[in-house]
Amino acid sequence: MRGRFLRSTITVAIAAAVVSAVLSVSITRTSGQAPAAVRPARVAGKPNLSGIWQANNEANWDLQAHAALPGAVTQPGIYPYDYARVPAAPVLALGAAGAVPGSLGVVQGDGQIPYTAEAFMIKKENSEHWIDRDPELKCYLPGIPRAMYMPYPFQITQGTDKIHMAYEFSNTARTIHLDKVAGPPDDAWMGHSVGHWDGDTLAVDVTNFNDRSWFDRAGNFHSDALHLVERFTLMSPDIIRYEVTIEDPKVFTRPWRIAMPLYRRVEPNMQLLEFRCNEFVEEFMYGGLRKQQLVKHWEGETMAVDITRKVPTGDRFYDWYGGK
């Protein structure tokens, strides 16, 4: 009896130590930004963009202007012609938390993304199957420009020949090269960024993308021919005007542009916290491979939800579990 109690006590102590270690890792922080009083206004004669920034808009839901929606996954309601759609089963229990806020949009000009006819049908299908396809839900790297306007802060560290950007989501990062460097050996989620100063505006040419990231949760996508030109202009010490010209002849009929302000996080103790979402999506991604299904039933005060897992096969299996 005493031996079993001792073993149980030791087990609990070990478990507590492991949990404590995990928690301590999960709240590891990066170094914060320098206070305004000690932050130099310029670096090597150029505007100092260093600091922690964040977009304050709805672009991650949809780059284009849109009305508020009851959920990111919907189905027809009782009215014809798809009028007044209702939340579909996967998001029904989320209520207002699963809704999509309305937006004036960030696409410049006529507000439309100029898809080819074939690409537009793919975008429409992406939107209808958002919960299965959006790379954000799988904690994949967000790509550029999406990393710039996700609802998470990011940090710019500016040097004379390199500018480093660290993003809270999925511990993503990229380097903007202001000097001559060799290109990457393969296409990448975050592309390859080469910058130069155009007066007081940082212009960045981004190429070498794979075709797996999206622009937003609405299913807007690109191919591996994506080419971006970003422009960062300091409008005030705490506001950057961020513009991106997007070109992809495989998907769009012409180049198009988005623009938005990025705001400095001015809290005196502001730092990036880790958001390692990989562990959060393991059950979502791989739970269907278990011999015994783990998450299969949820019951609340107003409804019960049962889940039947489907294991993708063939090409869909390859796409779902990280291939392409």
Token couple for 213: 């990231």
Segment 292-301 mean pLDDT: 91
Same domain, 113 and 224: yes
3-class secondary structure, 81:
coil
- Per the DSSP assignment, residues forming a β-bridge with 75 are 86
CA–CA separation, 153 and 33 (whole Å): 12
CB atoms within 10 A of CB 294: 8
Q: Report yes or no on 278 lying in a domain.
A: no
Strand pairing partners for 233? 201, 241
Angle at 32 between CA 279 and CA 232, to 5 degrees: 90
Instruction: Tell me how far apart the terminal alpha carbons of the chain are, to the nearest angstrom.
Output: 56
Q: Which pLDDT does position 6 carry in this prediction?
A: 41
259 and 291 inside one domain: no
The predicted structure's pLDDT at residue 70: 92
What number of residues does the chain have?
Answer: 324
Residue 6 maps to a domain: no
Helix/strand/coil percent split, the chain, to 5: 25, 30, 50
Q: What is the mean pLDDT of residues 53-82?
A: 92
Average pLDDT of every residue of the chain = 88
Q: What is the arithmetic mean of pLDDT over 117-132?
A: 95
Lowest average pLDDT, out of 39-53, 81-95, 141-155, 188-202, goes to 81-95
Write the single-letter amino acid at 282: E
Q: How far is Cα 273 from Cα 152, in angstroms, rounded to an integer?
A: 10
For residue 3, tell me if it sits in a domain: no
Can you tell me whether residue 126 is helix, strand or coil? helix
DSSP 274: P
Q: Report pLDDT digits (tens) over 188-246.
A: 999 999 999 999 999 999 999 999 999 999 999 999 999 999 999 999 999 999 999 99
Instruction: For residue 123, give the 3-state DSSP assignment.
Output: helix
Cα angle 156-159-160, degrees, rounded to a multiple of 5: 145
pLDDT attached to residue 321? 53
What is the pLDDT at residue 315? 55
The domain in which residue 233 lies consists of: 42-66+102-264
Q: Do residues 46 and 109 both lie within one domain? A: yes
Query: Which pLDDT does position 135 carry in this prediction?
Result: 97
Same-domain pairing of 123 and 253: yes
Number of domains in the chain: 2
**3 state DSSP class of 161:** coil
Asked if the model's pLDDT at residue 74 lies above 50, the reply is yes
* H or E segment to which residue 165 belongs: strand 162-167
For the chain, where are the E strands, in sequence order? 42-43, 46-47, 51-55, 74-75, 86-87, 154-158, 162-167, 173-177, 192-198, 201-207, 227-236, 239-247, 256-264, 297-299, 304-306
Classify residue 90: in a domain, yes or no.
no
Q: What is the DSSP letter of 138?
A: G
d(CA 46, CA 110): 33
Domain co-membership, 305 together with 199: no
Alpha-carbon torsion (79, 83, 88, 93), positive or negative: negative
Same domain for 206 and 291, yes or no, is no
- Are 153 and 259 found together in one domain? yes
Cβ distance 218 to 61 under 8 Å?
A: yes
What single-letter amino acid sits at 90?
A: P
Token reading at 228: 């971006």
pLDDT in tens, 131-189: 999 999 999 999 999 999 999 999 999 999 999 999 999 999 999 999 999 989 999 99
- The structure's pTM equals 0.85
Instruction: Supply the CATH number for residue 141's domain.
Output: 2.40.128.20
Reported as type and span, the H/E element at residue 198 is: strand 192-198
* pLDDT at residue 171 in the model: 92
Q: How far is CA 126 from the centre of its chain?
A: 16
**39 has a pLDDT exceeding 90:** no
pLDDT recorded at residue 215: 98
